[in-house]
Structures are given as C-alpha cells and as structure tokens.
C-alpha cells in the first residue's frame, strides 16, 4: 500500500491497523459519523431526485445514480481514511448535480454520462501533474475559509428558520442540544448532537409526522444499471470544464480547508487523482463526478480528539455501503421526515465549524479579501454555469493581490 505513484503523497506510517480503528470508536466518534451520514443521505439525495425527475430520468436510472453516489464512493471513503489515517469522506458534487439539470433539457443522459467520463479523466491527469496542490497552496487560507463560511452559512440560517417555522420539533431539538452543552458532565454520556437526533425522532413519531406517501412505493435493493456513454462535443464544452472546476476548486477546496482547520494535512494530489479515477468508475452507473465533501468531513471532524476523526470517516463509508445497497428504502424513509428535522440537525452540527471558519477568515491577515470572498459566495451568483464559491475565490484572490499585497509578507499563508 506504500508504493503509490511518485506524485501522490505518502500514506500514513506505520500503516493503519484494526486496533487503531477499534481504539477510536468512542461515543463522540459514533455520533459524528451518524450525523455526517444522515446529512449526506437526506437533503443531497433530494437534490439528485429533483434534478433527475426534472430531466425525465426513469426511476431505475435514479436508483442506479444513488447506488454509485453511496456504494462506490463509500469504497473510496473507507480506503482513503484507512490509507492516510485522516477523515476523507468522498461523495458526489451537489453543485455539479445542479449543473446537470439544465443540460438534461437538451442533451441525452448518455451524452451527459460521456461528459462525466471526460471530467474524470481530466481530474486524474491533473492529480498526477501536481498542479492542483500548487494552485491551492498559492491561495491564502483566510480567503479559502471565507468561501467555506459563505457556503456553510446556509446551514446556520436554515436552522434558525426551522426553529421559527417548526418550534415543536426544531425548538425542542435545539433546547436539548444547548442544555447538554451547558452541562458537560451529562453531555459526556449523552452527546448533544446524537441526543438531539433521538429527541427529534421521538417528536416525529409521537406527532405522527412521517409522510406516509413517501413510504408507499419502491423496492428494497438497488439494481445499478450500466449507462453507455456518448461522447459529443456539445456535452464536452458545456459540462466538462464547469464540472472539473466545481469539484476541484469549490468542493475539494472546501474539503481541504475543513481538514486543514481540523489539524490535518490533506493529500491534495491523491484527492484529485482519486476523484478523477472514481468519477470514471461511478459514471459507469450514471453517477455525477466524485468529490471530497466539505460538510460531511466537517461533521466527522467535529471533535477535539483528532486521532478519532479517521474512524468516523470509515464508519460513514460503511454506512454509505449499506445505504447504496438499500438505497430505495432508506431514501424513502429520509424523505418522509419533516424538512425541519434535517435542517436543524445540520445547523446544530455546523455551529462549531462555522465558528472556526469565521475565526480563521477574519482573525488576521487578508480580512478585506476574505470578506469579499464571503459576500460573493453568500450572494449565490452564477456565471457561465459556474457557481458563486468559485467566483468568490477568484475575486478574493485578485483583491488580495491588488489591495493587500503587504499581507503576503506577513508569514505563512495559513
């Protein structure tokens, strides 16, 4: 396992063993893994279903897409966390999925899948070139965290809106979470997030708020389909570069920044190459490009015990294997829960992450460029089918060179 190609970063030494995993299976690790998985298996799945339905995809094709999103990416997650002994959860690009929506209105799904293959090949080449690591190292961490804060802000505001709109459910979950934070002695035995999750489920069941029609149809097992690619120039021009930018700059940029903030040195070349190779693998079953997820990695790293973060990532990967195999029934159950449940859970889990992102972005140098990056990211603007986080990074970096050149002389960019 230590004979990776030269451009890729060396894995952890000594090699990870089963004893390392077992030693780190604490209640906090289990809670963070469960919360991270629930986040990935709820709202993001709804994005796939919405885009696919609007694009006229059949139910069997959507099930195949979800199988690749979880099962195949779950294999990569387990391998990466084990190999480097750090949290590296890989799923699919949500902004990239949104990009696919308009394309399906005038391209066949086979043409879109052909673009998935070419995007994966491009990322694989960039990963072995080492170019992505050099590009990321050139951007000050304050600017990157300004982008991360802008992306994650929606989880905080979504939580607040849920408390107002559904006080019985979201308000109860929030109150339990805050009480356990205020009573750390009890919170040591009843982790605030997992307890809020359980309380939320109790409220949902007690109030009979499961959406019955969401459970009425669908089988138990995923039956992935092989989607034959069609390589057309119009699909290449429309999707390949925007998808690659979305994965490498927006999604992987978030993920790398989150890992940096949690004290991990992310293997950027490996991540890029792995996203490229796995994007081609998941394309076989019609799944959009693989990426290093930002929010889920933030959730599994949400503990002070750094050595346990990789174990939470492995658990998320194992849960992803199960979800991918039983995707139809799990998806129906998740979508049957009230939206306020998922929004509150994600918002509470993101509080510490948001706090750390703001502290890094605005606590030192590059404050103006970090602020501009944050504002553009929050604005949600989109140009040339490329989302606001990318333009926030580009503009923030440009402003730092024009206005804050002196800050580059202040020491390390991190």
Lowest mean pLDDT among 180-184, 242-246, 331-335: 331-335
pLDDT tens-digit profile of 262-289?
889 999 899 999 999 999 999 999 999 9
Q: How far apart are CA 262 and CA 148, in angstroms?
A: 13
Number of H helices, E strands in the chain: 22, 2
Vertex 33: Cα angle to 27 and 35 (nearest 5): 100
Q: How confident is the model at residue 412 (pLDDT cuts 50, 70, 90)?
A: very low
* pLDDT value at residue 111: 93
* pLDDT value at residue 116: 96
Per cent of the chain over pLDDT 90 is: 31
* pLDDT value at residue 290: 96
**Which token pair is 318?**
């194992």
Lowest mean pLDDT among 62-76, 118-132, 228-242, 320-334: 320-334
Lowest mean pLDDT among 54-58, 283-287, 408-412: 408-412
219/409: higher pLDDT = 409
Q: How confident is the model at residue 307 (pLDDT cuts 50, 70, 90)?
A: confident
* pLDDT value at residue 75: 97
Q: Are 389 and 150 in contact (CB under 8 A)?
A: yes
Query: What is the pLDDT of the chain when averaged over all its residues?
Result: 84
Q: How far apart are CA 2 and CA 83, in angstroms?
A: 9
Can you tell me whether residue 137 is helix, strand or coil?
helix
* pLDDT value at residue 1: 44
Q: How confident is the model at residue 315 (pLDDT cuts 50, 70, 90)?
A: very high
Closest CA to 256 of 370, 405, 90: 90
Question: Which residues have CB under 8 Å from 63's CB, separation 6+?
Answer: 222, 223, 224, 327, 328
| 16-20, 139-143, 222-226: which is most confident | 16-20
* pLDDT value at residue 282: 96
Rounded mean pLDDT, 351-379: 88
pLDDT tens-digit profile of 392-407?
888 999 999 998 888 8
Q: How confident is the model at residue 68 (pLDDT cuts 50, 70, 90)?
A: very high
Can you tell me whether residue 412 is helix, strand or coil?
coil
Question: What length does the chain have?
Answer: 414
pLDDT at 414 over 60: no
Closest CA to 261 of 293, 306, 292: 306
Q: Are 368 and 404 in contact (CB under 8 A)?
A: yes
**Which token pair is 29?**
């690790």
* pLDDT value at residue 369: 93
pLDDT tens-digit profile of 35-47?
888 878 766 776 7
Q: At what angle do helices 94-103 and 109-129 cross, to 10 degrees?
A: 140
What Cα–Cα distance (Å) separates residue 316 from each residue in 77, 371, 402?
Answer: 8, 33, 42
* pLDDT value at residue 112: 93
145/336: higher pLDDT = 145
List the chain domain ranges.
Answer: 18-409
Q: How far apart are CA 201 and CA 197, in angstroms?
A: 6
What does the buried/exposed string (b/e) look like for 162-191 if buried means 16 or more CB atoms within 10 Å of the residue's CB? Answer: bbeebeebbbbbbebbeebeeeeeebeebb
pLDDT at 197 over 90: no
* pLDDT value at residue 108: 92
Q: Are 380 and 390 in contact (CB under 8 A)?
A: no
């Amino acid at each position: 396992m230590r004979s990776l190609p030269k451009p890729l970063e060396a894995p952890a030494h000594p090699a990870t063993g089963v004893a390392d995993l077992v030693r780190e299976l604490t209640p906090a690790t289990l809670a963070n893994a469960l919360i991270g998985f629930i986040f990935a298996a709820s709202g993001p799945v709804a994005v796939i279903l919405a885009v696919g339905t609007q694009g006229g995809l059949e139910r069997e094709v959507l099930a195949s897409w979800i199988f690749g999103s979880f099962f195949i990416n779950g294999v990569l997650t387990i391998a990466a966390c084990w190999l480097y002994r750090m949290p590296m959860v890989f799923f699919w690009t949500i902004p990239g999925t949104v990009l696919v929506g308009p394309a399906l209105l005038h391209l066949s799904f086979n043409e879109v899948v052909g673009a998935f293959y070419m995007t994966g090949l491009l990322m694989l080449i960039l990963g072995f070139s080492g170019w992505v690591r050099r590009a990321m190292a050139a951007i000050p961490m304050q600017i990157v965290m300004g982008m991360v804060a802008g992306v994650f802000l929606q989880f905080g505001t979504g939580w607040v809106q849920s408390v107002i709109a559904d006080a019985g459910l979201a308000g109860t979950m929030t109150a339990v979470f805050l009480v356990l934070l205020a009573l750390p002695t009890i919170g040591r035995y009843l982790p605030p997030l997992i307890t809020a999750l359980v309380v939320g489920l109790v409220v949902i069941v007690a109030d009979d708020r499961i959406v019955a029609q969401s459970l009425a149809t669908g089988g138990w097992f995923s039956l992935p389909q092989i989607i034959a690619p069609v390589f057309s120039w119009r699909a290449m021009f429309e999707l390949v570069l925007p998808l690659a930018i979305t994965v490498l700059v927006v999604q992987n940029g978030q993920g790398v920044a989150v890992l940096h903030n949690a004290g991990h040195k992310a293997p950027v070349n490996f991540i890029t190459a792995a996203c490229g190779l796995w994007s081609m693998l998941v394309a076989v079953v019609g799944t959009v490009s693989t990426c290093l997820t930002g929010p889920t990695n933030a959730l599994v790293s949400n503990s002070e015990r750094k050595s346990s973060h990789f174990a939470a990532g492995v658990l998320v990967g194992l849960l992803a294997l199960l979800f991918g195999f039983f995707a139809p029934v799990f998806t129906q159950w998740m979508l049957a829960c009230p939206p306020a449940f998922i929004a509150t859970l994600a918002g509470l889990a993101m509080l510490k992450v948001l706090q750390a992102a703001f502290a890094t972005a605005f606590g030192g140098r590059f404050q103006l460029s970090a602020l501009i990056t944050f504002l553009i990211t929050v604005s949600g603007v989109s140009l040339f089918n490329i989302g606001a986080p990318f333009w926030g990074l580009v503009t923030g970096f440009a402003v730092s060179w024009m206005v804050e050149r002196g800050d580059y002389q202040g020491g390390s960019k991190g």
